[in-house]
Amino acid sequence: MKKLITASFLILTCTLLFSQNKTALYKNRTAPIEERIADLLQVMTLEEKILQMNQWAYGKNDNPNNYESKIKDLNPNIGSLIYRSTDPKYRNFIQKKAMEESRLGIPIIFGFDVVHGYRTIFPIPLAQACSWNTALVKKSCEIAAKEAWLTGIDWTFSPMVDVARDPRWGRVSESYGEDPYANSVFGVAAIEGYQGHKLSEKFTIAACLKHYVGYSLSEGGRDYHYSDVSSQTLWETFMPPFEAGIKAGAATVMSGFNDISGIPASANHYTLTEILKDRWGHDGFVVSDWGSIKNLIYQGVARNPKEAALKAFLSGVDMDMVDDLYYDNLPTLVAEGKITEQQIDDTVKRILRLKFRLGLFDQPYVDELDEKERYLQPEDLLTAKALAAESMVLLKNKNELLPIKSHYKNIAIIGPMVKDSIHIMGFWEGKGRPEDVETIHDGLIKEFGTQLNLHYAKGSDFDGNDTSGFKKARQAANKSDAIIVFLGEKRDWSGENGSRSTISLPKIQEQLVLELKKTGKPLILVLSSGRPLELFRLHHEADAIIEMWQPGTTGGSAISGILSGRINPSGKLAITFPQTTGQIPMTYNMRPSAVPKSGHYQDIPAEPLYWMGHGLSYTTFDYSPIKLSSTTLKKQDTLIAQIEITNKGDRAGKEAVLWYISDPVANISRPVKELKYFEKKNIEKGETTLYRFEIQPHRDLSYVDGNGKRHLETGEYFVMVEDQKVSFKIVE
């Protein structure tokens, strides 16, 4: 009773103090953020603090008639909402409640999964990485941020930088491929795109690096499963993109669902507090994944919700995404002395810090523009087209079948993807709408106009065993000079919980190809998928193959431009295509085998079908030998590696150069090669362009051990580009 009276007295005093002082320091936009936080914290009650640490999902029903009734039950003190509506007025309406009805006027931070676009949908991140064009990736995130901000979203749960290791795992579509460096570079580009120069500016939103850490090693590619991550692999493969993202100023981090070798990512003091917050100095906050605090019970490290909340909190998870475990249990845990109010304050500080940085206290509302002005602006669609085009990878082009010859008069366009407007957007399609999508069919009609007769037949569905469409497909093929078959995966065959036990196309789609092959016509295969596919049985049947991925709103135009030759393909794979599912795991940066040239399979080749980095062009690029500024250097020196590339073909083209380093002998065995730098440039026909890689030994030649400590050894190294390999030495 005494406690209660003291608490009530305190609240009363705070309220009085507060109302006497309408211009409290924390409301003064010119005061330093840390002072504003301290000022606010000292007047907050424990309940108000704990509410800041919770996130609820909201806004599915955004019919204006329902605003009042829906919002009635919403606690205005809630820290964050996942905002699913597309209506900025509704968001402002909710924010007004927080500002006016909460005692202290603390704004809500609205989050949403803006993963590869909000309404203008860009290619899936895996495809974006194949563009090797960081400027375009950054620009796409800027556009996504603008569309999201104009809806009232302050925070996106992106980028995902879980280095892809197993293409059976559906979430490889959300990653930037199999290489840690590529994930770092594109992750940073995404953060810069979302967050702009200053979070408080219009059109910028906070980024969230996810899923920290090791999630992509989910056993057998089964989502949400255990991941067995050695400390060496953790540091070498999974940590680098997170560390780079934190250095680039990522506002928040999401703790993963996975169990890292027995200690779940959402209860992992080592990764969340010792590394992320203490070693890397992250001053933003960690949000759990959807229900990942409650999952600690299923993962076998907590007996009940209260223990799960305690473990997550003490490990460093600051905000509870949707499962209410903090809301329900933290007050008791504080009362029992298991958590101190000081610890709560440290967490709440982090959340308030972002709200101040976003300028939410000073400008809590967003503009309420018309839908036409918010989304799908013509110049943004051009960026989407450019990124879609640069993401697509020409895998095979026998006898230069592509681009489509000008003397062709009839082309058969066959397959379940041709008229699709849903699966082409991929998983996490934000608020993308099928009616905004330019289908492949629309794109081809625009591209070829009356110049070509296009004979369409669906042929088959994505799956099932209905072959009744084969006949029409054959008839279309028989009338044509060449056949283009558009096959692929449905939207939810990848993405979250989108694992597949085999990465091949369903049998019906393979049968369709074999059926069409019987016509003897040249056959072009265009694939749309959220992962690499097993092409073992199809590869020899097709004369040309393009992986178009899931290219988003403008995919139809981009693929049509590549087929016609208006666009010269320039994508290169950011992930290896194994021969078969049985070859997984298969990544270019594997460690050397104990018995060279051995360890192959009895039934399939040892090499994958296409390594990361593979991708063809319609022109020919001639690489000069690599030139080094020196062949020996000291650890603190810089080495310049250069090559010249000449465009020997008859059209301009963009060429991405991927620079690798190999360290053949080290105290901890190194991968056979590691990507350290890449650059993409346009080269006009007949022109020669210089590519340059400045090798800084501490940055590019050192390696981490299982404690995250860097080592740089003397000895021989190689710099590699395509099939060239040149040696140099580091000396004392």
Closest approach of Cβ 113 to ligand BGC, in Å? Answer: 5
Residues 668 and 583 sit within 8 Å (Cβ to Cβ): no
Amino acid (one-letter) located at 505: L
Judged by CB, which is closer to ligand BGC: 416, or 430? 430
Question: Among residues 176, 290, 361, 448, which is the contact residue for ligand BGC, using CB under 6 A?
Answer: 290
Q: Is 157 in the site for ligand BGC (CB under 6 A)?
A: yes
Closest approach of Cβ 495 to ligand BGC, in Å? Answer: 9
Q: Is 162 in the site for ligand BGC (CB under 6 A)?
A: no
Q: Is 210 in the site for ligand BGC (CB under 6 A)?
A: yes
Q: Give, as ranges, the residues between 113 and 132 that touch ligand BGC (CB under 6 A).
A: 113
Reply yes or no on whether 73 is catalytic. no
Closest approach of Cβ 41 to ligand BGC, in Å? Answer: 28
The Cα–Cα gap between 527 and 486 comes to 6
Amino acid (one-letter) located at 604: I
Closest approach of Cβ 81 to ligand BGC, in Å? Answer: 12
Q: Residue 499, class by beta-carbon neighbours within 10 Å (0-12 exposed, 13-18 middle, 19+ buried)?
A: buried
Judged by CB, which is closer to ligand BGC: 322, or 720? 322
Q: Residue 725: name the closest of 650, 576, 625 by CA.
A: 625
Candidate list 62, 87, 162, 289, residue with the active-site label: 289
Q: What are the distances in angstroms from CA 696 to CA 661, 699, 712?
A: 12, 5, 11
Q: What are the distances in angstroms from CA 475 to CA 455, 469, 472, 595?
A: 9, 10, 5, 53
Q: Is 178 in the site for ligand BGC (CB under 6 A)?
A: no
Site string for ligand BGC, 484-513 (x = CB under 6 A): ------------x-----------------
Q: Is 289 in the site for ligand BGC (CB under 6 A)?
A: yes
Judged by CB, which is closer to ligand BGC: 323, or 496? 496
Q: What are the distances in angstroms from CA 231 to CA 169, 240, 708?
A: 22, 13, 9
Site string for ligand BGC, 95-114 (x = CB under 6 A): ------------------x-
Amino acid (one-letter) located at 30: T
Closest approach of Cβ 221 to ligand BGC, in Å? Answer: 15
The count of residues interacting with ligand BGC (CB under 6 A) is: 6
Judged by CB, which is closer to ligand BGC: 113, or 142? 113
Closest approach of Cβ 217 to ligand BGC, in Å? Answer: 15
Judged by CB, which is closer to ligand BGC: 113, or 147? 113
Q: Residue 158: name the closest of 254, 267, 286, 284 by CA.
A: 254
Residue given tokens 């084969």 in the structure block: 470
Closest approach of Cβ 253 to ligand BGC, in Å? Answer: 12
Closest approach of Cβ 357 to ligand BGC, in Å? Answer: 21
Residue given tokens 């905002």 in the structure block: 83
In this chain, which residue has its C-beta nearest to ligand BGC? Answer: 157
Amino acid (one-letter) located at 657: V
Q: What one-character-per-residue DSSP string does 195-241 give?
A: H-S-TTSTT--B-EEEEETTGGG-GGG-TT--B---HHHIIIIIHHH
Site string for ligand BGC, 629-648 (x = CB under 6 A): --------------------
The Cα–Cα gap between 344 and 333 comes to 11
656 φ, ψ to 5°?
-95, 130
Amino acid (one-letter) located at 469: G
Amino acid (one-letter) located at 154: D
Q: Of all residues in the chain, what percent are helix, strand and coil, respectively (each to 5)? A: 35, 20, 45
What residues act catalytically? 289
Residues binding ligand BGC (CB under 6 A)? 113, 157, 210, 289-290, 496
